Amino acid sequence: MTIEHLVNLAYIISAVLFVFGLKLLTSQSTAKKGNLMSAVGMFIAVVMTLLIKDIIDYKWLTVGIIVGGIIGAFAARLVVMTQMPQMVALFNGFGGMASLLVGWAAYRVMYNFDLFTATTIFIAVLIGGVTFSGSIVAWGKLATVISGRPILFPGQTVLNSILFIGTLVAGGILLMDAPISPVMLVTIILLSLILGVMAVVPIGGADMPVVISLLNSYSGIAGCAAGLAIQNNILIVAGALVGASGIILTNVMCKAMNRSLSNVLFGGFGASTVQQEGGPEGEVKPISAEDAYFILEAADSVVFVPGYGMAVAQAQHAVHELERILEENGRDVKYAIHPVAGRMPGHMNVLLAEANVSYDKLVEIDDINRIIEEVDVCVVIGANDVVNPAARETKGSPIYGMPVINVDKSKTVIVLKRSMAAGFAGIENNLFYKENTRMLFGDAKSSLEALVAEFKKK
């Protein structure tokens, strides 16, 4: 068996590990095993690739491993769960930049003109550049370095169209005269970076879960194109897996918001606060932690509905402690998880897993809505738009038709919130004015700790 055959066999093993690892990532209980399996697959692929002669300067490889390893270790240890969406956005961006650099390197060693290779280089550079700069903007919005609201201005769509057409023209020139067109390659890189910024700035913070999953798909497509450019089978497979899974997840996110991808990308959703015609009816009924204790103490079933407010307050451990006390007192406790709650897909799942909440207690939106009328108390922790009944009741609302958790149909709702401020959609929440809703104002973590203290005291 030649070294090439051995490397290709290792690539097949790595690809199998990637597929099974991705399958295991679909469940929280097996996610760690899936992550480890995928990491082992990538380790095998990297080691076997390095067996090919003259593929890299090992001095620079060693430097890269050491520097990258140190940065990665510190980042993983220091990042808090509330900053995980920002971390994911950066990962997507770095993946895009890596593909761009691979495409650039492949262009530099392309001594003989090859239309197919030149095309894959163009795709890798274009999508890689868009992914990198777009992900940096997404990171800035998530980290509040820049405004989370959509940034819109007159002629924006026209400008984006000109940038895109200009990139395609530069790509066409590159493909017609690839060996002597380094200026066109640099032009494509610059235009792709600008296009990435312009593509993400019009998107509001409420749509970041969709943007992150879409950019993740872009990074995979760019990686696949880079693999085609350098004829590396495992990079093609890995990129295709990431690209396909990202597109599937993006579609799931869009369905969860009852919006099309084009509306997310070009709708400027959340650019201004929306005033609903007529306004909600009813009065807000604030309560104290002691009042909330008596409501929970009398309940047989309790459902917690977490949102980004729980992440900001870092209240996941407090809610888990309250869950434990309620179960010790014979209450049935569940968690209702909306697909787009938080700032990235699975954000709430990650936070609750950090607090050791059992995965079996997490219930998806369709399943909880079937039994919501039988629930005694729903405790909404920092969620807003994903529990807003305007999605069912107000036809003129921007979120009308969006699947929401129907907490207002439960017997009693306790909303933990700092104030009456609107959520990311900029829409007043009709839930706050419902007859069966009680508002427990304050920091979510402090409110939950106060409830725990009431149970322990009583």
- Find the catalytic residue in 207, 376, 385, 408: 385
Give Cα 250 to chain centroid, integer Å. 9
Q: Judge whether 367 counts as a catalytic residue.
A: no
Calpha distance 196→414 (Å, rounded): 41
CA-CA-CA-CA torsion for 349, 343, 145, 139, nearest 10 degrees?
90
Calpha distance 161→312 (Å, rounded): 37
Beta bridge partners of 413: 378, 437
266 in Cβ contact with 202 (< 8 Å) = yes
Calpha distance 127→116 (Å, rounded): 17
- For residue 260 the two structure tokens come to 């099309």
Report, as residue numbers or ranges, the catalytic residues.
385
